[in-house]
Amino acid sequence: MGKTYRIKDIAELSGVSTGTVDRILHNRGKVSEEAQKKVEKVLKEIDYHPNLIARSLALKKKYKFVTLIPSFGQGEYWAKLSEGINKAEQELFSYNIEVERMYFNQYDRNSFDNLIPKIEEADCQGVIIATLFKESVIQLTQQLDKLEIPYVLIDAFIENTNCIAYYGTNSYDSGYIAGRLLFEQIHPEDNIAIFRFIRKGDMHSTQVMKREEGFRDYLYGHDFLGKIYPVHIHADESVENKEILDSFFATHEEIKAGIIFNSRAHVLGDYFQHQDIDKHFKLIGYDVIESNLSHLNNGYITHLIAQRPEVQGFNCVRALFRHLVLKEKVEQINYMPIDILIKENIKYYNNYI
């Protein structure tokens, strides 16, 4: 076992006062650049690690983080992200970290807005925000800035906020890659469909809009000559969706390719399977969830683009912990890999934290 160093010991080794060492270790107050370098040199030499568990328990300091994410069912995308949050909370239990979960309807902006006052009253030390509704998120972050409560963004990065960190893919680049994947499967003059899910309050989520922007930029930058047809469907109304899709494909029989910019590509896969439509339709979707995987394997989805939601959920809680408890500087932009999955490589894919 290595020697336990007290602040007094570090001060003597550094040639500075105990007060200076205390300010550096606890990141409070100003010290000279020369003193900072002296102390940091000694800390490195002795491989100093503060006993944070003992400090936290001794001070009886408790930290409550609030997560604001969409409600979900078993096996859905947000369920996987929640698994990462749960794992981080379990690992940080000894540091008196508690995570309070608030949920909103991802297809109804009002449900997000209704939670903003509750977050302001939650007496929390940090907030994790899924950024589906841009204007509402900006309103919330401005309030958190005034309250000096740090926050982490997930799903899509929103510029001009003071988030301590963002975890997720580059949404624009993800859409740009999707454009290439689809374009390489069609002729330049072919028409294609973009399947969108109807939302209340906002037509699209922040991430979907950025993905579609990148998608269109790729196509129009690479001699795409066809037309793009938007098709608006519902998240969970299969009967009405069938009528919408029946009507669309009856009047657009030539369309054999399309994309969905969220995790519900399985809605189209289910439709194609139930209608016994041949597997020549080229469909690209997002996220590795079981319902999507079944259609990737049976051929109704050609590609899935994944973004490791479990890792996002885990890291966003860790980022608040590192910022508030460890007093570490956290990298602000943390892009996840953009994973491209097909039937032949899906069995090798893992998303371990």
Question: What are the 10-residue block averages of pLDDT along the chain, 353 residues in total?
Answer: 71 87 75 88 80 56 93 92 94 88 93 93 94 93 95 93 95 97 96 88 75 97 96 85 94 94 92 81 94 94 95 95 89 94 91 70
**Residue 204 has what pLDDT?**
66
DSSP 1-64: -PPPPPHHHHHHHHTS-HHHHHHHHTT-S---HHHHHHHHHHHHHTT----HHHHHHHHT--EE
**Checking DSSP bridges between strand 192-197 and strand 303-306, what pairing results, if any?**
unpaired
Is residue 297 classed as helix, strand or coil in its secondary structure? helix
The H or E element containing residue 349 is none
Torsion of CA 143, 147, 153, 156, to 10 degrees: 20
Q: Quick one: tokens of 26?
A: 């606890």
Confidence at residue 1, expressed as pLDDT on a 0 to 100 scale = 43
φ, ψ at 136 (rounded to 5°)? -65, -40
Q: Are 225 and 189 in contact (CB under 8 A)?
A: yes
271, two tokens: 């439709």
> At a CB cut-off of 8 Å and minimum separation 6, what does 206 contact?
131, 132, 133, 134, 137, 155, 156, 158, 171
Residue linked to tokens 């990065």: 157
Q: How far is CA 183 from CA 159, 217, 284, 295, in A?
A: 30, 12, 11, 21
Query: What's the pLDDT score for residue 152?
Result: 98
CA dist list (Å): 105 to 50, 99, 130, 136, 219: 42, 20, 11, 13, 32
What does the alpha-carbon distance between residue 353 and residue 308 come to, in Å, rounded to a whole number? Answer: 9
CA distance 212 to 219: 11
pLDDT given for residue 188 in this prediction: 96
As a whole number of angstroms, the longest Cα–Cα distance in the chain is: 83
The residues, ordered by sequence, that sit 6+ positions from 233 with a Cβ below 8 Å of its Cβ are 195, 196, 197, 198, 241, 244, 245, 267
Beta pairing partners, 65: 99, 126
Model pLDDT, residue 50:
66
List, in sequence order, the alpha helices (H) in the chain. Answer: 7-14, 18-25, 33-45, 52-59, 77-91, 109-113, 116-120, 134-147, 171-183, 206-220, 238-251, 265-274, 290-298, 309-324
> 3-class SS at 321?
helix
Q: Record the pTM.
A: 0.80
